[in-house]
Amino acid sequence: MKKETLLLHAGRDPKKNYGIVNPPVYHCSTVTFPTLAALEASQASPLGVVHYGRYGTPTTYAFEQGVAALEGAPKCVSAPSGLAAISIAMLAMLKAGDHALITDNAYFPLRKLCNDMLGGFGIEVTFYDPMVGAGIKDLIRPKTKVVWVESPGSQTFEVQDIPAIAKAAHAAGAVVIMDNTWSAGYYFDAFEHGVDISVQAATKYIVGHSDAMLGTVTTTEALWEKVKWTAVRLGYCAGPDDCYLGLRGLRTLATRLARHQETALFLARWLATRPEVERVLHPALASCPGHDIWKRDFTGSSGLFGVVLKEFPKAAVAAMLDGMEHFAMGYSWGGFESLIVPTYPPKVRSATRWPHAGPSIRIHAGLEDPEDLKQDIAAGLKRLVAAA
Ligand SMILES: *Cc1c(COP(=O)(O)O)cnc(C)c1O
């Protein structure tokens, strides 16, 4: 079965549900047991069964099955947000005295988690150049337990050589954790490329309609139990209605992504020809660092990309952004709507120097008519120049 078909079936079974297409939503705290023996059996082995609301419900498990199918992995643990999924993965694999290597273009709140909290727990972190490739070998210490990758990275979109990084990490006994949100787990097969744990903000493309917070930690069979216990110990559980929305999102994911991809490419290629633009950071364009790796390892591109403008003052950027008609200013991308926000790459990296002086923006191409979006940006660029 091709993935597009698989996504329509994963995590649902109409035969077990009166023939109804979608599974029901179970709202649950207490699970009651008929006998003391049944209660004790559930207590002895509570993972993956219906034991207590926080451990998971049939709705939670259906969503997790769907995401595991999407990512081509055996197991998934859902979380109440993408950032919760990140912290579950980190805390599952790290303890006091351990060291982690984190890509310099990682989602900024992960940097804050490392710097503001994990340090206090005795976990040391080093940020590394996303383009390091096999050179990661020289940064791995005896205590390195996690190598964190995000590809393409937040804000700056470098594409990482994950197979080379995974080879070095595994040789040293470290696990590779990936933030796979950009590809939605659809355009990049993390587990085929050596990743051990793939984290997603399901908030983004999987939910797809900007109406729920949801995270996923997808794992190999071997790591699942540790990840699941960590989520249980921390008390993280995703809400049933949100899991339902995530599961529903999976049904249209492939179709939505194809349109996000097409429109983003259309806009990115056009922006690359504009005189106001210094550089377009879209993995499918040669101007993006790691473009050749993207061509080798990815099967497509999603709707999110970056644009570095020539040098314009902040007031000119404000004039551009304030007047947009179709692009809204907001952070959580992956919904049907187009978004545009300024980004500040020099402020969110420490291991590498950002080479551009001009302002940067991040665009999420939504599902609107592509020509409407192009006209909107064209008018914005006119305001940018006029206000400079
Ligand atoms: C948004 C995002 C997250 C966090 O997801 P939330 O659901 O907002 O907590 C994590 N990683 C990446 C790459 C993201 O874009």
Whether 107 sits among the annotated catalytic residues: the reply is yes
pLDDT-above-90 percentage for the chain: 100
The tokens for 244 are 């339902």
What sign results for the dihedral spanned by CA atoms 203, 206, 208, 212?
A: negative
Distance CA 380, CA 388 (A): 12
Phi, psi of 145 (to 5 degrees): -110, -20
Domain total in the chain: 2
Q: What pLDDT, on the 0 to 100 scale, is given for residue 270? A: 98
Query: What is the best residue among 81, 83, 160, 182 to mutate for testing ligand 1's pocket, by most ligand atoms within 8 Å of CB?
Result: 83
Please give the radius of gyration of the chain, using alpha carbons only, rounded to the nearest integer. Answer: 22
**Peptide bond preceding 345 in cis form (omega within 30 of 0):** no
187 lies in the same domain as 103: yes
336 lies in the same domain as 361: yes
220 lies in the same domain as 303: no
Q: What is the CATH number of the domain that holds 80?
A: 3.40.640.10
Q: What pLDDT, on the 0 to 100 scale, is given for residue 174? A: 98
pTM for the predicted model, two decimal places: 0.98
β-pair type (304-309, 277-281): antiparallel
Please state, rounded to an integer, the average pLDDT across all residues of the chain.
98
Q: What pLDDT, on the 0 to 100 scale, is given for residue 114? A: 97
Hey, how many other C-beta atoms are within 10 angstroms of the C-beta on 211?
Answer: 12
Hey, how many other C-beta atoms are within 10 angstroms of the C-beta on 353?
Answer: 9
37 lies in the same domain as 137: yes
> 174 CA distance to ligand 1 centroid (A)?
24
Q: What pLDDT, on the 0 to 100 scale, is given for residue 211? A: 98
Q: What is the CATH number of the domain that holds 363?
A: 3.90.1150.10
265 lies in the same domain as 299: yes
170 lies in the same domain as 111: yes
Residue 127 DSSP SS3: strand
Query: Which is the closest atom of ligand 1 to the Cα of 201?
Result: 5
Read off the pLDDT of residues 249-280 as tens digits, 9 standing for 90 and up. 999 999 999 999 999 999 999 999 999 999 99
300 lies in the same domain as 193: no
Kindly state the average pLDDT of the residues 312-328: 98
Read off the pLDDT of residues 141-185 as tens digits, 9 standing for 90 and up. 999 999 999 999 999 999 999 999 999 999 999 999 999 999 999
Q: What pLDDT, on the 0 to 100 scale, is given for residue 52? A: 97
Q: What pLDDT, on the 0 to 100 scale, is given for residue 103? A: 98
Q: What pLDDT, on the 0 to 100 scale, is given for residue 6? A: 97
Q: Among 222, 249, 276, identify where a domain stops.
A: 249
Q: Among 214, 249, 284, identify where a domain stops.
A: 249
Hey, how many other C-beta atoms are within 10 angstroms of the C-beta on 121?
Answer: 12
Classify residue 367 by burial, with Cβ atoms within 10 Å: 0-12, 13-18, 19+.
Answer: middle
Distance CA 191, CA 201 (A): 17
Domain extent at residue 362: 253-387
Read off the pLDDT of residues 47-94 as tens digits, 9 standing for 90 and up. 999 999 999 999 999 999 999 999 999 999 999 999 999 999 999 999
Query: Which is the closest atom of ligand 1 to the Cα of 215?
Result: 7
Q: Among 221, 249, 277, identify where a domain stops.
A: 249
Q: What is the DSSP string of 313-366?
A: -HHHHHHHHHT-SSPBP-S---SSS-EEEEE-GGGG-SSS-----S-EEEEE--
